[in-house]
């Protein structure tokens, strides 16, 4: 087992257990709705956003127990976004993580409601965490940043721009505009929220912000490359879906070799941003290498 996997495995287990506890099998709620929520939330995934929150907290010497509710809320928001992105009115995908998407498995109406439930419960979890926090102002700041990253200025705004750009002739500026918001904003919020809850000072927060910006963009570049090159067995999604829909992607505007070079460049910038951190930040270093190396041919 690699050093990264040794780090990831126990944290994934903690995150999975915490998410499971938030949505028990037999709550006093509509059973089919809970099934759809659990199907989307507990059906696998890299858990990158919650792990980034925990790793960022640890990098500044914080207590991961304090960061865990924020990590769970981030994953709930991410899962809601996937459920809604897959809908026929959005990206119209039938496969996610190697399984039928939620609207295929449960129907479109229940998929919309499952996404709504995940988003709403995420903010309930953030507010519960703020109520319990020993530093409530830091917790509220972290919650606000997650909210902003998920909304008009972040993920939702990026998704709207992505839909508008489908089939159009996009340039690099537009692609970056879309993906800094659609993908990068929540990844950056994960890093910053973990750091804030962990007690980061302003210098640490600036460095981690730069790291998160570079990692967020690198993740999307890598994801775009994988959509072109990786088989369904590896990605859990249909190959070449972005090209079919004429999406605004990095390979589409740069070509594959230049997109891979851009991913490597962003990896270097992310690593440089946290060069002054101790070995406590090694998981963050390993994560950005993992994100890029899975797609950049290294």
pLDDT by residue (tens digit) across 165-221? 887 778 899 999 999 999 999 999 999 999 999 999 999 999 999 999 999 999 999
* pLDDT > 60? residue 101: yes
Task: Outline where 169-281 has alpha helix (H).
Answer: 172-179, 185-197, 202-229, 232-235, 241-244, 250-254, 256-273
Task: Outline where 60-135 has alpha helix (H).
Answer: 64-85, 102-106, 108-132
Residues 6+ apart with CB under 8 A from 124: none
pLDDT at 197: 97
Backbone angle region of 107, left / alpha / beta, with phi > 0 → left and psi within -120 to 50 → alpha: left
Confidence of residue 113 (pLDDT cuts 50, 70, 90): very high
pLDDT at 155: 95
> pLDDT digits over 149-160, tens only?
999 999 999 999
Least confident of 34-43, 104-113, 197-206, 233-242: 233-242
> pLDDT digits over 8-59, tens only?
999 999 999 999 999 988 767 778 999 999 999 998 888 999 999 999 999 9
As a whole number, the mean pLDDT across the chain is 90
CA separation for the pair 21, 7 (Å, rounded) = 22
User: 13 vs 121, 177, 285, CA distance in Å?
Assistant: 21, 34, 21
pLDDT at 170: 81
CA separation for the pair 94, 3 (Å, rounded) = 35
CA separation for the pair 162, 293 (Å, rounded) = 25
pLDDT at 242: 58
User: 131 vs 39, 148, 275, CA distance in Å?
Assistant: 29, 20, 34
């Amino acid at each position: 087992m690699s050093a990264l996997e040794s780090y990831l495995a126990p944290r994934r287990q903690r995150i999975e257990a915490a998410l499971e506890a938030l949505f028990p099998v037999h709550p006093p709620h509509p059973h089919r709705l809970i099934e759809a929520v659990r199907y989307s939330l507990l059906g696998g995934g890299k858990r990158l956003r919650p792990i980034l929150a925990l790793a960022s907290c640890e990098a500044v010497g914080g207590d991961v127990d304090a960061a865990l509710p924020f990590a769970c809320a981030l994953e709930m928001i991410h899962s809601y976004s996937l459920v809604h992105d897959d809908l026929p009115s959005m990206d119209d995908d039938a496969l996610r993580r190697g399984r039928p998407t939620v609207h295929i498995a449960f129907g479109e109406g229940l998929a919309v409601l499952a996404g709504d439930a995940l988003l709403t419960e995420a903010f309930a979890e953030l507010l519960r965490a703020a109520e319990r926090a020993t530093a409530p102002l830091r917790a509220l700041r972290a919650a606000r940043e997650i909210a902003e990253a998920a909304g008009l200025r972040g993920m939702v705004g990026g998704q709207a721009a992505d839909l508008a750009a489908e089939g159009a002739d996009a340039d690099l500026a537009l692609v970056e505009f879309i993906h800094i918001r659609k993908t990068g904003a929540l990844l950056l919020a994960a890093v910053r929220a973990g750091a804030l809850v962990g007690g980061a000072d302003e210098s640490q927060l600036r460095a981690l912000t730069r790291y998160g910006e570079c990692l967020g963009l690198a993740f999307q570049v890598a994801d775009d490359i994988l959509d072109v090159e990786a088989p369904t067995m590896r990605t859990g999604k249909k190959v070449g879906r972005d090209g079919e829909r004429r999406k605004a992607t990095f390979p589409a505007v740069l070509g594959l070799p230049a997109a891979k070079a851009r991913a490597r460049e962003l990896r270097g910038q992310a690593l440089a941003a946290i060069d002054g951190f101790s070995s406590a930040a090694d998981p963050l270093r390993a994560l950005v290498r993992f994100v890029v190396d899975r797609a950049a041919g290294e």
